[in-house]
Structure 1
Amino acid sequence: MAESPFEFRAAMTVLLQAFTAMVKKEQEEAERERQKEEEKKKQQREIQQRKKRMLEAAFDGDVEEMKAVLKEVSDLDTKNGVGTDEKRKATHLCNHINMVECTDANGNTPLSEAAGGGHSSAIKLLIENGANPNCKGGFGRTPLYRAAFGGHMAAVETLLQYGADPRLYADDGNTPEQIASLDSLVTILHSWDISLTELMLQKMEAEQQRRVLLEKKQEEAETHRMSEEVEQLAKAQERCNKELQQAYYELNRRIMEHDKCQRKQMVNAELTLQVRLPGPSAPFSLRGTDSTEVPRLKCSIPELDDVLLKDVGSKIHSDGRWPLIIDPSGQAATFLRYRDTNYLNTLNPNDMNMETIRLALLGALRYGKPVVFDMMEVNMFDAVKRQLEGIESGLAEAILSKQILQNERYLSLVRATDGPEYSPTEFQATRLGNFKLFVIIKRHQPPEELLQILLPIRVILVKCSL
């Protein structure tokens, strides 16, 4: 049994509430993404600030400040939930090393800065926290090179004891011994037992391999976790798609039953179209008008062709705007849906697909049909314009101003995959002249913007006398 109009309105109310909830959810999600992006930028600024503090403290030999920066990194890991399992250990180690090995604009690390400043205590702290004693900064200079060049005896001795290699060359082709500024430094570097350096390098290599293995395990674990998440999300999406398809099936079933019910009721009904057109002596206003002041054009359902599809005495054509059909009853919408029109329900995501809209417009232009955008009770006009702009920049304005019909502007809608029936020679002026755009809304009082852009035509359902 067909549903009553009351039941249909209740179903549509539920649908509109769901649509409103979906829009609100999307807005909330967009706000969360914005906040996440702001938080990410803030964190990046804080990281850069900590790196700057670490580099400056190393050059000044401020060991306490360096310890404070490293503690901040550790505390931040704890705050972000970095624990003591293997994965979180790897994350903590990576964050720690990234701070110890951070670089300035010239590629110099805190250890290189500490060596340049001659601060052996800072050098010791950094190497014990994972700094590479043989890193190369600006001009390929190692920390040992900078300490020897600066004549820092204690810094050179500390670096040698921790594995700094005196054989490494800088970009200028010199070793630390060759550029040492003190004879005593030349002697130390020349007489240094290189076997001690080899032993330290072996230990550092072993430590580096341990870190690489730990990072590899972390990457594998993260890859496995993400694969499981993707699989779960795919299953959830499949489930949601099935639910959505079922919801659309149910909605379309209800719409068809409602339309059947409405068609039965229309047997003893007629439509009155109230049209108020702007003129030099009476500026257009839909608000506060008395029905006796508005010219009426009456027609029964079989005559609606002449009223809408064949123009209201050419007044729509002379006005220059496309009609906005204000149809609280839903009768005109039902009529146009089952006529030879390209009907689009703006609340249906499938109908609002850009390719669907493009083909609807192109077919209407090619075969001389009206395109109907049924907004039901929701103002979807901005969404329609966004989709039109997505198809082609400036398309919305071209359609509203009817420039789409001039100078073969409509051919910009044709794609190579559309087939021979849409070749330029297939478009005929007579059929193009029959192209129309109808926008339908069920609200009694549409937004003021629509009343200015489109030509308002109010549809009033009245009972015929028997």
Structure 2
Amino acid sequence: MPPKTTKAATGKTPAKGATGKTPAKGAAKPAATKAPVKKEEPKKEEAKPAKRTMEPKEVTLKAIANVVNCIGEVGEEYKASGRCLLIVDHNGNVGTFLKYRDVNMIQATLAVDFQPEPLRKALIGSLKHGKPNILDVSDTDQEKILDVAQGKYEEIYPGCWQDMLDLSISQDENKWGKLYRANDDEEQYKNPYDYRAAEFKFVVLTNVDPPASALHDFFTVIVN
């Protein structure tokens, strides 16, 4: 009699490479190999070129109005510098000379003027009407007054002082928009279509020699 075939026999040839063993239930599959993820390095901010100290220019009293309005050789240099103007007037005549011209002038020695709210309104007026905004710091402690002034402008909004010094406040509506308050008159302050911000100038006037740091930040003229 022919031999009996067992139930385990299939009569098939195992596939090449097959082990013939059934993988154990629940056996872990080999983990897939992932390519290493490259970490992105933080972008480095481009360093701004350092400001250089500019030697003061000497001008006459008659010429100072032209300088403020960027007219003439020194006026053109002032405009090209991209800085705010610092006028040193040892004779004390420039303040009177400019006061009767189309400017907004604040005197640091007058407590009623030298406060954040008058400073804010004068700044808005200068941006709106294209007038020079002149801060007269004559007869004050020159080592401290600009720091005091910066503190008062920073009360208007943080960064206001630097925005004036680099003139970005006259180029960015979002920056001069920070000057507004809810109770400001709509027509007087908030109409954006009649602004002459591109003509804005911030000028510091003094009758004594300023600190060396001011020569680093401003375009300085000495009136003789």
Which TM-score applies when normalising by structure 1? 0.34
CA contact (8 A) 2:116 2:153 kept: yes
CA contact (8 A) 1:366 1:426 kept: no
Q: Give how far 1:324 is off.
A: 0.7
Q: Give how far 1:297 is off.
A: 4.6
* Superposed counterparts of 1:99-118, under 5 Å: none
CA contact (8 A) 1:377 1:441 kept: yes
Structure 1 stretch displaced more, 411-420 or 349-358:
411-420
SS of 2:183 mapped into structure 1: helix
Q: Give how far 1:315 is off.
A: 1.3
1:384 & 1:400 partners in 2: Cα distance?
12
1:297 & 1:330 partners in 2: Cα distance?
14
Relative contact order (C-alpha < 8 Å, sep 6+): which is higher? 2
1:361 is matched with 123
Structure 1 gaps of 5+ residues are: 1-281, 287-293, 461-466
C-alpha change, 1:283 and 1:412, in structure 2 (3 Å) is closer
Q: Give how far 1:407 is off.
A: 2.5
2:122 & 2:66 partners in 1: Cα distance?
23
CA contact (8 A) 1:321 1:455 kept: yes
Q: Give how far 1:427 is off.
A: 4.0
SS of 2:111 mapped into structure 1: coil
2:190 is matched with 423
Q: Give how far 1:319 is off.
A: 0.5
Deviations, residues 204-230 of structure 1 (Å, cap 9, x unaligned)? xxxxxxxxxxxxxxxxxxxxxxxxxxx
SS of 1:416 mapped into structure 2: coil
C-alpha change, 1:448 and 1:416, in structure 2 (3 Å) is same
Q: 1:454 aligns with which of 205, 218, 222?
A: 218
SS of 1:336 mapped into structure 2: helix
Instruction: In structure 2, give the amino acid aligned to 1:410.
Output: W
1:299 & 1:333 partners in 2: Cα distance?
11
1:324 & 1:313 partners in 2: Cα distance?
12
1:413 & 1:435 partners in 2: Cα distance?
15
Deviations, residues 28-63 of structure 1 (Å, cap 9, x unaligned)? xxxxxxxxxxxxxxxxxxxxxxxxxxxxxxxxxxxx
SS of 1:325 mapped into structure 2: strand
* Superposed counterparts of 1:321-400, under 5 Å: 321-378=83-140, 379=142, 380-400=145-165
* 1:284 equivalenced with 2:54 (yes/no): yes
C-alpha change, 1:283 and 1:353, in structure 2 (3 Å) is closer
Give 1 or 2 for the bigger CA radius of gyration.
1
C-alpha change, 1:375 and 1:401, in structure 2 (3 Å) is same
Q: 2:207 aligns with which of 442, 456, 460?
A: 442
Q: Give how far 1:307 is off.
A: 2.9
1:345 & 1:326 partners in 2: Cα distance?
15
2:27 is matched with none
Instruction: In structure 1, give the amino acid aligned to 2:203.
Output: F
CA contact (8 A) 1:411 1:424 kept: no
1:283 & 1:363 partners in 2: Cα distance?
30
2:54 & 2:217 partners in 1: Cα distance?
12
* 1:308 equivalenced with 2:68 (yes/no): yes
SS of 2:113 mapped into structure 1: coil
Q: Give how far 1:299 is off.
A: 6.1
C-alpha change, 1:356 and 1:454, in structure 2 (3 Å) is same
**In angstroms, what is the RMSD of aligned CA positions?**
2.1
Q: Give how far 1:284 is off.
A: 3.4
Deviations, residues 12-31 of structure 1 (Å, cap 9, x unaligned)? xxxxxxxxxxxxxxxxxxxx
C-alpha change, 1:299 and 1:356, in structure 2 (3 Å) is closer
Q: 1:410 aligns with which of 176, 183, 190?
A: 176
2:53 & 2:84 partners in 1: Cα distance?
18
2:54 & 2:132 partners in 1: Cα distance?
25
SS of 1:417 mapped into structure 2: coil
Instruction: In structure 2, give the amino acid aligned to 1:455.
Output: F
Q: Which has the higher strand share?
A: 2
Instruction: In structure 2, give the amino acid aligned to 1:385.
Output: Q
1:308 & 1:402 partners in 2: Cα distance?
15
Structure 2 gaps of 5+ residues are: 1-51
Structure 1 stretch displaced more, 310-319 or 382-391:
310-319
Instruction: In structure 2, give the amino acid aligned to 1:400.
Output: L
CA contact (8 A) 1:343 1:371 kept: yes
* Superposed counterparts of 1:127-138, under 5 Å: none
* Superposed counterparts of 1:26-425, under 5 Å: 284-285=54-55, 297-298=59-60, 300=62, 304-311=64-71, 312-378=74-140, 379=142, 380-408=145-173, 409-421=175-187, 422-425=189-192
C-alpha change, 1:310 and 1:319, in structure 2 (3 Å) is closer
Which TM-score applies when normalising by structure 2? 0.68
Instruction: In structure 1, give the amino acid aligned to 2:192.
Output: T
